Amino acid sequence: AQLAELLKRIADGTISNNAARQVFDALWTGEATDVDAVIEAKGLKQMNDSGALEKIVDEVIAANPDNVAQYKAGKDKAFNALVGQVMKASKGKANPQQATDLLRARLSA
């Protein structure tokens, strides 16, 4: 039952795959018995709030003009660096797909 609950949380974007490993470990070792309790206690919930994510993306774009210029010149590695900066700024809690989509939209504008 807990494994099904954990899979649901991954599917609905509540937690990332990395966070799911931490939750699974806590359940496996007997540290906890409730998926949601582990997510809350360890602060593993993914940031799915687009307003907060937009703010972080805008800050990262403003703080990294070199990477932005390189990306616009066709260097994909520069884009990956920007995604990394968004993840770092959100302490790994940003939804990676949402961050990537938002960053692409902002940079193509």
Span 9-34, average pLDDT? 87
Angle at 49 between CA 26 and CA 68, to 5 degrees: 105
pLDDT of residue 79: 94
Helix axis angle for 35-42 and 2-11, nearest 10°, is 50
- What single-letter amino acid sits at 55? K
The token pair that represents 69 in the structure block:
């210029």
Say what the pTM is: 0.70
Kindly give, in sequence order, each residue whose CB lies less than 8 Å from that of residue 63, ignoring residues fewer than 6 positions away. Answer: 85
For the chain, what is the largest distance between any 2 Cα atoms, rounded to a whole number of angstroms? Answer: 51
Q: What is the pLDDT of residues 52-98, one digit of tens each?
A: 889 999 999 999 999 999 999 999 899 999 999 999 998 888 888 88
Enumerate domains of the chain plus CATH numbers: 2-42 (no CATH), 50-108 (1.10.10.410)
CA atoms 46, 51, 57, 63: torsion sign: negative
